[in-house]
Amino acid sequence: MPRQRVLSFALVVAFLVPGLVAPANIARANGIGDLYAAVDGGILELHVASSAIVQRVAIPGTPSGMAFSNDARSLYLASGRARLDRIDIESIQLADNIATEIDLVTVAIPKGGTAVTAGPGRPRLLLAGLVDGKVRETDRLPGAPDLLTADRRDPHALAARSGASWVSIVDVDDGSVAVIDVQGDVVGLAVDRAGAAGFVVTRSPDRLTRISLVDHAVLWEVPLPGPATAVVSTAFGPIVAGSGALWSIDGDTAIEWAGEGSPSGILAASDGGDIVYVGQASAVLAFDANAQLQRTIALPATERLRGLAAFPAPGSLSAAAGRAGNGSGIEPPATSTLPPWLVVWGATPALLAGALAVFATVLLLGLVVLRRRSGRRAGDGPGSE
């Protein structure tokens, strides 16, 4: 019985002490988040399967754009300042930054080690080397872009000006720019994960256009049922958000995919492309490939959603969850497959290792004390001096 009590006491201490003594600035959510939300003054780390907000990172300024590095170890932010901030995903902390000559309002990272950024009034894009920190400019664009997108599977970026009728295709390697004129006012962009193509959403007319990123040709155009706000590329084709619905486009027609739209114009997809995230005023909705609402992540009433970025590995709702990289060859930090109660508690490999160490120490000390007590009792028996 005494040994059983020692064992129980060691278990209790092992799982309480690490959580109580961990420094407040050490992120206990390391590797757990699979979706990140930009809000006023910070970034929220979300675990979709448990609908939990795991961590909040305070950011000077207001993040208006964010993008993951290809290796998934860093989240880069454009926050209206003359610098590209970096959050280290291992520690979930604001780390270093890359200084720029202009304030940045948006950022995208295509295949490779270069971030593409833009600032107000500047008819060029800045190309920031994520390793050496060197910043260079692209060729001139028709205007100052405020829409920017890329995909880690393709070396190009797409840029446009809201309400304008042009789209620029940027070759990140040499900084060259190709301009395509489109009909209507551009409101949304996405790079097609299925190939070297991009999607352009316009109003007046309401239309989705697929363009080639190689020869810059228009591949197809599909009329939309109404005004759109955003587009995202998924493993099952493009999904467009309207004022009251989500539409699926197959290259010929647009049909209603789900009845909950995105007036905020904030859409994202999981890295595997099988989950669609829809940003709304007070929540983030997660739909599966069959347009079934799987999760609703409520946001604090004080937070205003500015953007979403999915972690570059299968998410916690994905069928391939736990297989990092989804066959892409990247090696991101290990994504936790802990059960939701441990996720909410904030367990990490470091904390679990600490818990095991505490458990072993307490158990060993308890057994030593028991042995000494047993020895004393034996010495006090009959025949002892």
Q: How confident is the model at residue 208 (pLDDT cuts 50, 70, 90)?
A: very high
**Quick one: which of 256, 271, 250 has its CA closest to 335?**
271
* Plot region of 290 (φ>0 → left; ψ -120 to 50 → alpha; else → beta): alpha
Instruction: Among 32-41, 333-342, 362-371, name the one with the lowest average pLDDT.
Output: 333-342
Q: What is the mean pLDDT of the chain?
A: 83
pLDDT at 58 > cutoff 70: yes
Q: Is the peptide bond before 205 cis (omega within 30 degrees of 0)?
A: yes
Whether residue 332 contacts residue 325, with contact meaning beta carbons closer than 8 Å, is answered with yes
- Strands across the sheet containing 237-242: 228-234, 237-242, 246-249, 254-258
pLDDT band at 282 (very low <50, low <70, confident <90, very high): confident
> Which residues, 6 or more positions from 299, have their beta carbon under 8 angstroms from its beta carbon?
37, 39, 44, 53, 282, 283, 284, 305
The residue to which tokens 């064992």 are assigned: 7
Name residues whose C-beta falls within 8 Å of residue 371's C-beta, 6 or more positions apart in sequence.
none
- What phi and psi, each to the nearest 5 degrees, are found at residue 24? -65, -30
Segment 245-261 shows an average pLDDT of: 91
pLDDT of residue 260: 74
pLDDT band at 359 (very low <50, low <70, confident <90, very high): low
> Where exactly are the structural domains of the chain?
1-28+353-374, 33-345
Q: Which CATH code of 1.10.1740.10, 2.130.10.10, 3.30.300.30, 2.40.430.10 fits the domain covering 33-345?
A: 2.130.10.10
Q: Are 296 and 49 in contact (CB under 8 A)?
A: no
Instruction: Please check the confidence at residue 355 and state whether its pLDDT lies above 60.
Output: no
Give the Cα separation of 27 and 357 in Å (integer).
20
pLDDT of residue 72: 94
Sign of the CA dihedral running 327, 71, 134, 126: positive
Which amino acid, 125? L
As a whole-number percent, the residues of the chain with pLDDT over 90 amount to: 66
Output b/e per residue, 348-357; b: 16+ Cβ within 10 A: beebeebbee
pLDDT at 60: 87
Burial group, residue 188, by CB count within 10 angstroms (0-12, 13-18, 19+):
buried
Does residue 103 surpass a pLDDT of 90?
yes
Please name the residue ranges forming H helices in the chain: 2-21, 340-345, 349-379
Give the pLDDT of residue 23. Answer: 38
Residues 206, 247: Cα–Cα separation, whole Å: 12
Long-range CB pairs of 144-148 (<8 Å, 24+ gap) are 144/118, 144/119, 144/120, 145/106, 145/118, 146/105, 146/106, 146/118, 146/120, 147/106, 147/186, 147/188, 147/189, 148/65, 148/106, 148/107, 148/108, 148/116, 148/117, 148/118, 148/189
Give tens-digit pLDDT for 18-37.
444 443 333 333 457 899 99
Q: Could you tell me if residue 367 is left (phi over 0), alpha (psi between -120 and 50 degrees) or otherwise beta?
A: alpha
Share of the chain above pLDDT 70, in %: 74
